[in-house]
Amino acid sequence: MNKQPVIALALNAHTPFIRRQTPPLTAEDRWFFEALSETYLPLLDMFDRLDAERIHFRLGISLSPTLCAMLGDELLLSRYEEYLNAQIDFGLRETERLAAKGEGRTRDLAERWREKARERLRWFSERYKRRLLPVFDHYQRKGRLEILMTAATYGFLPFYTARPEAIQAQFEVAIALYRQYFGKHPQGFWLPELGWDPELDRYLRAYNFGYTIVNTHALVLGEPAASKGSFYPVKTPRGVFVLARDYYAHKDIVGGEHGFSYDKTYRDNCADAGYELSAETVAPFLGPDGCRTQTGYKYKALSGTVYDPKQASELAARQAAAFLESRVSRLAAAQAYMSDNPISLAAYNADTFGRLWHEGPAFLEALFREGAKRADFRFMTPAEYLYKQDLSAAEVVTPCFSSAGYNGYAETWLDASNDWIYRHTVRSLERMTEIAGRFPNETGIKERALNQAAREILLSQSSDWTKLLYKGESAEYARAQIEESLRNFTTIYEALGSNYLSTEWLTGLERRHNIFPAINYRVFRRKR
């Protein structure tokens, strides 16, 4: 191919596994619904629109196994429709209340959000028939998307490299699920929290992954340091290609108060009517013990004034053009001293675009529309870019230990707020490996118990809970999730030792934590 700079967008779509069987739902239970409404459905709608208009777009997206499991869970999908209907009903009352108070602009916003809820219900129930994964797969088959894989329950892998059984379980369960949904083996692996340890190189090679993505400093401070920085892939000693996230592309959008997404013109996603109106008014959105949750009806901009959707949309389009100009300028500077095609890998968490930044999907669409007018760069998926390069002479570099999060060296997932977790998860891993070896050929109730023990171990390793503990956000909920999974595992372990297991209790647990229905506990057996 001709020497042309490349911009590769990569999104990490992940939601921790949360599945409450009985209402009322907590704020945490609604995270999945908010992500569906604000991020995943708007993304699919954007793909449909761009594809219909033949606008060139390419995107890499990691769909985590926990998110995939929730997108296929009938209980959660039915609950989501109920959630949207509650939003629609609430919107009718809101428009009447605001009209009676003479608040015309705010009343128009309430009507706008009500129409958005109705629109999402139509998309979800009628256009996509409640099945979103086949739509993502459709665009992957058309070459518009590349779907990456990540670890089964998004465990922070560098902390488990001394326990090979933990790593192999996170990989093998995720690969089986990916093949079930997408019918192929993935090329790229999204490291949970971008957590890299040199020991992971052998696992990526063993499970036949072509490449992975790390944070910028992993290459800049690698051994040896990558001479082309984040503008070109390197190769690990075992032959896995590594791309680095473009630090400046990430900073431009989420870099604190100066990032695009923090502009005061944009909607304040925290200023929700659910926190401001009387408990009686927002009754359908109250959690257990009357705790407040979001309704989706937000009327303020980050400036504190009434939100102006038109002004925000126009700003997103201008920022998209500025973002591309900045990327192309930096790529041109890199190209001046490179004989290769430089790349800017703009990698983000998917919920940045929508759930956290309401105008994010509009920004992405403006990027692709603006890019279609330019000939000085190309959008590609990460795998497409790698395929079109001559990588035979790629530098061999061992990236340094690194992560996303505060300071970039795993501090978010290991400090005084959450370090207590690991002694329990490691001890439970040892026990899981023990019983997987002690009961190699079980069937019936014992096999069901062992499979459920494997699920509980994987759930306890989720990096989401340690991150919430570190941030002090939903900390009690996060602690309860970890403790419940560890307690469930311990109950099964002790029951297997005493040869007594309550079938009723196990059946109830299987219904609550029904993730990975085809799991095989033998993934935890020690490999010789």
3-state secondary structure string, 187-240? CEECCHHHCECCCHHHHHHHCCCCEEEECHHHHHCCECCCCCHHHCCEECCCCC
Among 1.10.4030.10, 3.30.930.10, 3.40.50.880, 3.20.110.10, what is the CATH number of 6-25+41-65+136-149+186-266+301-408?
Answer: 3.20.110.10
| Closest by CA position to 518, among listed 19, 153, 69 | 69
Residues of the chain scoring pLDDT < 70: 1-2, 528
Q: Among all chains, which residue has been given the structure tokens 């340091």?
A: 225
Q: Largest Cα–Cα distance in the chain?
A: 74
Tokens of 473: 């956000």
Instruction: For strands 211-214 and 241-244, give the pairing.
Output: parallel
In the chain, CATH 3.20.110.10 covers: 6-25+41-65+136-149+186-266+301-408
Helices (H), 101-185: 104-122, 133-141, 164-182
Element (H, E) at 363: helix 360-371
Distance CA 528, CA 430 (A): 16
Distance CA 152, CA 180 (A): 14
Question: Quick check: 233 and 243 in contact, CB under 8 A?
Answer: yes
Q: What angle do CA 207, 212, 213 make, to 5 degrees?
A: 160
Question: Quick check: 462 and 152 in contact, CB under 8 A?
Answer: no
Q: What is the DSSP letter of 388?
A: T
> What 3-state DSSP class applies to 18?
coil
> What 3-state DSSP class applies to 347?
strand
In the chain, CATH 1.20.1430.10 covers: 414-524
pLDDT per residue as tens digits for the range 201-253: 999 999 999 999 999 999 999 999 999 999 999 999 999 999 999 999 999 99
pLDDT per residue as tens digits for the range 406-431: 999 999 999 999 999 999 999 999 99
CA dist 248 → 6, 221, 245, 254 (Å): 15, 17, 9, 10
- Say what the pLDDT of residue 24 is: 82
Amino acid identity at 508 = G
Tokens of 190: 């999204």
CA terminus-to-terminus distance, the chain: 45
Superfamily of domain 414-524: Families 57/38 glycoside transferase, middle domain (1.20.1430.10)
Amino acid identity at 376 = D
Question: Quick check: 132 and 147 in contact, CB under 8 A?
Answer: no
pTM of the model: 0.96
CB neighbours of 275 closer than 8 A, spacing ≥ 6? 292, 294
Distance CA 486, CA 481 (A): 9
Distance CA 396, CA 266 (A): 43
- Say what the pLDDT of residue 3 is: 74
Tokens of 417: 């707020």
- Say what the pLDDT of residue 1 is: 46
Buried b (16+ CB within 10 A) or exposed e, 187-219: bbbbbbbbbbbbebbbbbeebebbbbbbbbbbb
| Closest by CA position to 68, among listed 202, 200, 173 | 173
Question: Quick check: 71 and 180 in contact, CB under 8 A?
Answer: no
- Say what the pLDDT of residue 528 is: 66
